[in-house]
Amino acid sequence: MFVLEYKLKGKLIQYQAIDEAIRTVQFVRNKCVRYWMDGKNIGQKDIYRYATILRKEFKFAGKLNSTACQQAVERAWTAIAKFYDNCKKKIKGKKGYPKFSKRTRSVEFKKSGWKLDRDAKRIKFTDKNNIGELKLIGSRDLFYFQEFQIQRVRVVKRADGYYCQFILKLDVRDITPELKPTKKMVGIDVGLKYFYADSNGNTINCPQYYRKAEKRLNRLNRRKSKKFRTGQKQSKNYLKTRRKYSKAHLKVSRQREEFAKQKALRLIQSNDLIAYEDLKVKNLVKNKKLSKSINDAAWSQLRKWIEYFGVKYSKLTIAIEPNYTSQDCFNCGKIIKKSLSVRTHICQCGYSEDRDVNAALNILKKGTIGHIGTWSEDLNAWGENVSIIVGSNTCNSKQSQ
């Protein structure tokens, strides 16, 4: 699946209608979760039947397009199914018991409820919410794809406006320019001092977008807090200040993602094989002293885009276990224990190298020794499996944007 995104331009009354549709999606999703909580032996079909009852019982739910209502049910069942799956796998800690959604920001249509005018670059929503026709603003040509390839249309609300996403079913090999083999491979080690260091000795500094914007973000947050009224309806000044604060955060997140995307693309274009650590970032951010720096470094974003571009351009990406990559000596293999403050790897064998570069060399070594080096021909949707993990013989891909 591929996603093409355009900004929507319309009138205030149309934006209010979109907000109403999003609130209805949240209502249906939460009611389905409550129905499952209160009942016994409630399955997927039972929840779909209950959604039909909701549409008859509540007029505002009946106004929402039937496929958008089905998608709200799918969101509820996805949370329930994930909880069941975690229980079966007996994962440690919390199992992800379904929670009620408080901040739903999108409504999704399937094959009905919308009509696309590719000549005028406009889209019209035809359900009873009276969203009407809106203009699509974006650089991509709408004739880039056929209408039958559109699987879903999603309307997303963000701090700076409303966006329309087209989820397309396309063959990767038909739309991707072929890259010539470079006969090169690289291992990368992400860190806090450097965004990443590679096995060739190159380093990329962390842009630290959040750190640079932190002072302004804190100032906006203080302004927002001063205008907040406990237990009362919020003023227009508060809503305006909150919008500015949200836009500032959105800018930082976009900067971070674009930087990771750019670096990932360069790695894919210049190498045939990229090896990196299979880090559990969710666990690493539990460190209170380093959590802010880890989140600002955007390691997950880099991995996501490396895997995506790897699938898109048929390049091999390998995730390896991160154990002892910084401690092992690349030259002799001896374990040299060192704290995070020690930035240079010095071994008794005489080998001396930057700590992160030594780790990148070990990552590449682990990723290539004993690896078969094949790539799956199955380039389906960028789904749940993400990369080739050494020892598992699994191949994967993930969804595009």
388 near 319, Cβ under 8 Å?
Answer: yes
Please tell me the predicted confidence (pLDDT) of residue 334: 87
What pairing do the DSSP bridges indicate for beta strands 2-9 and 122-125? unpaired
Q: By mean pLDDT, which of 152-166, 243-257, 322-336, 375-389 is the weakest?
A: 375-389
Q: Bridge-partner residues for 346, per DSSP?
A: 352
pLDDT above 60 for 141: yes
Average pLDDT over residues 95-124: 92
pLDDT above 70 for 220: yes
Q: By mean pLDDT, which of 5-14, 141-150, 248-257 is the weakest?
A: 141-150
Percent of the chain surpassing pLDDT 70? 91
Residue partners of 44: CB distance under 8 A and separation at least 6: 77, 81
Q: What is the mean pLDDT of the chain?
A: 87
Residue 240 in tokens: 């305006």
Please tell me the predicted confidence (pLDDT) of residue 395: 37
Q: What is the pLDDT of residues 293-327, one digit of tens each?
A: 999 998 999 999 999 899 888 899 999 888 888 88
Q: What is the pLDDT of residues 112-122, one digit of tens each?
A: 899 999 989 99
Backbone angles phi, psi at 296, to 5 degrees: -70, -25
At 338, the pLDDT band (50, 70, 90 cuts) reads confident
Average pLDDT over residues 55-59: 93
pLDDT above 60 for 382: no
At 172, the pLDDT band (50, 70, 90 cuts) reads low
Backbone angles phi, psi at 259, to 5 degrees: -65, -45
Percent of the chain surpassing pLDDT 90? 59
Q: By mean pLDDT, which of 23-27, 155-159, 173-177 is the weakest?
A: 173-177
7 near 166, Cβ under 8 Å?
Answer: no
Strand order in the sheet with 132-137: 106-109, 150-158, 161-168, 2-9, 132-137, 122-125, 114-117
Please tell me the predicted confidence (pLDDT) of residue 179: 84
